[in-house]
Structure 1
């Protein structure tokens, strides 16, 4: 979205129980080309670092990430964040620090917040995957091991990727509703540390017997789709629960992918989840019941909360939209930037 001015406004109560920095689009501004930004990152090496040290691996690896970056770049701003409520402020400060590259370490919730803060800004996001599922990093084809991930920051390239937008918030990977919201609210943080990705399906199985199905109505263009389910997902990214959604999805494919898991029957939800986990990564979108769109109007009966990349934000009815080329991110040289 070149040619836009970004005005930063601090608004109380817009984060999860804290103030958040909102980005308001007002008028024309200059944004460097990808090639120019990449050249400045290599030449000036001005880098900011923000790490969620409450994430699964953030506390353990912060010192290593800080030390290795300090040896290769000029660190102009550093924020180890122990309380997630402080992430918006830390990320906004990093974006305004004069850095060309803002390196962010954490899980999908942290990186979604980073995407929101850096969307349409003249800076590049560098990803250090330190979370449980790391869906955003997987969708970018980034290595999950720390040494290889850090090498991408110094030897990769700048690419444009899409973001979703819902309830005043950009999201990098997935907005969902239904059982996933209860899982996000109840999965024990300690269990995630011990079991990693397995903590989510185990929590879902424990909650499923008491979960009630809902009816969703989706308006895409002139078409209206009505369905009953326990779980509905609207994906910008290509991965869900650490697994590929389909082989032909991506973070730069200019479309949202809408799909439900099962219907109103709890057993069929479980079977659909297993089938998607096993077959989904090999099954193209054209061979599924997935819907694709640039914009979705969604209402549910009853109204439901939204899980936006692992954080509970907003409620239905709601508009969910795609913003193409909304974020600059550092990726491997083999990433097919479209």
Structure 2
């Protein structure tokens, strides 16, 4: 539910809102009246093409043999056909004008909303310089970033003790972290993947010690959401000498801590397969038809604080909600890690029509659900469920309960973080309309 807008909004916010409405109206006029029937053609072709792309994608993923080939061809041919039809009908100019006006409308609308609702990021507190920091580093993580960026020498030069993992043997990083605490460590840190980050973060939270994230993994989702530099992991070490602390939440799934996500259903089933690590794409394509059409895998029922979802095919439970989750990738970015709630994205698509619905409507599609909850329980008709926890394959007894520990982890980050995320208000055209026609407070200059 939208919050009420403050009365007496600044003049610049009202002007931006009015400009947004003018641009939106201009986009509609350009389509409807710009070149006669050309505007209608743009809309119809765009909608039909998007629907066919969604259907083709579904067939390419959920079928085998000839149907898969036809789906793949349709997935590619539909967007190409849109471009060809636009070119032959000579409606390029109309399409470009309409798109440009609509983009301008959205930009102006967001600007107006940001003016009256300032974006909020995670609140940082002054951090003290650790005297006995211990950093655990995986030399193979991220294709060898530890060695490539000279992280060991740089960390030791800043007074940290580095524990370099032996990747030839299976290592319990949580045990290493606990041993470091027993020996007097006043900070724990990890240069490695998100799964390793989560295990050491759990130990840091247990002892209320600050935790340092070094973006030496492959994707570094956790580092990204903290605003850390993912291109140069050595810059994360600046926190040791010029840092500040964030209090963030930790997710719990079946007793395991996660910093990013716990996934259930299709993706979790695929990563369990023994050949997934060596041939990810081939394994996924071979497994998807059975999983999507219900010949294998298990439908998931979900119970949250106030909602129940039935027969979901894929679920993503996140430590705080993503700002704009993408249906097909279940990803995005979290601007806040301190809201004290889990995010949930659920997908149920069983035929080409539903796939087209998701392609056209995105988060508003009937087959896609986005919500937040303090606790999420996943049930199924099986005794155990495969779970992908921060990208690692686990199996847990059903039902599986996910919860959140608000403010459980102290994260030490560099004071200067140009990539630090902020939560911008969602685009809401009703609020933009209200703001555009709001009146200034008595004594306030009119727009």
TM-score by length of 2: 0.54
Matched, 1:39 2:128: yes
| More helix as a share of residues | 2
Aligned to 1:99, the other structure's residue is in SS state coil
Matched, 1:209 2:289: yes
Partner of 1:296: 376
Change (3 A) 1:161 1:133: same
Q: Could you list the runs of 5+ residues in structure 1 that have no partner in the other structure? A: 1-33, 192-198
Partner of 2:259: 172
TM-score by length of 1: 0.70
Greater relative contact order, per chain length (Cα 8 Å cut-off, separation 6+): 2
**CA deviation vs aligned residue, 1:224-245 (integer Å, no higher than 9, x gap):** 413223211111156689x895
Change (3 A) 1:74 1:165: closer
| More strand as a share of residues | 1
Choose the corresponding residue for 2:233, options 143, 146, 154.
Answer: 146
Choose the corresponding residue for 1:158, options 245, 248, 253.
Answer: 245
**Cα RMSD for the two superposed structures:** 3.5
Partner of 1:78: 163
TM superposition outliers: structure 1 runs of 4+ over 6 Å: none
Displacement of 1:48 after TM fit? 0.5
* Partners of 1:141 and 1:245 in 2: CA distance: 16
Matched, 1:309 2:394: no
Choose the corresponding residue for 2:401, options 314, 319, 328.
Answer: 319
* Partners of 2:185 and 2:304 in 1: CA distance: 39
Contact 1:174/1:237 (<8 A) preserved: no
Displacement of 1:96 after TM fit? 2.9
Superposition pairs for residues 1-338 of structure 1, below 5 Å? Answer: 38-41=127-130, 44=131, 46-58=132-144, 61=147, 64-75=150-161, 78-82=163-167, 83-144=169-230, 145-186=232-273, 188-189=276-277, 203-211=283-291, 212=294, 214-221=298-305, 223-237=306-320, 245=331, 250-265=336-351, 289-302=369-382, 303-311=384-392, 312-333=394-415, 335=420
Aligned to 1:143, the other structure's residue is in SS state coil
* Partners of 1:150 and 1:275 in 2: CA distance: 44
Q: Could you list the runs of 5+ residues in structure 2 that have no partner in the other structure? A: 1-123, 424-447
Contact 1:50/1:81 (<8 A) preserved: no
* Partners of 1:247 and 1:89 in 2: CA distance: 31
Displacement of 1:126 after TM fit? 0.9
* Partners of 1:271 and 1:55 in 2: CA distance: 39
Size of the aligned set, in residue pairs, is 281
Q: Larger radius of gyration, structure 1 or 2?
A: 2
Displacement of 1:188 after TM fit? 4.7
Change (3 A) 1:233 1:57: same
Contact 1:57/1:106 (<8 A) preserved: no
**CA deviation vs aligned residue, 1:197-230 (integer Å, no higher than 9, x gap):** xx5x665334212223643222223x34132232
Moved more, 315-324 or 177-186: 177-186
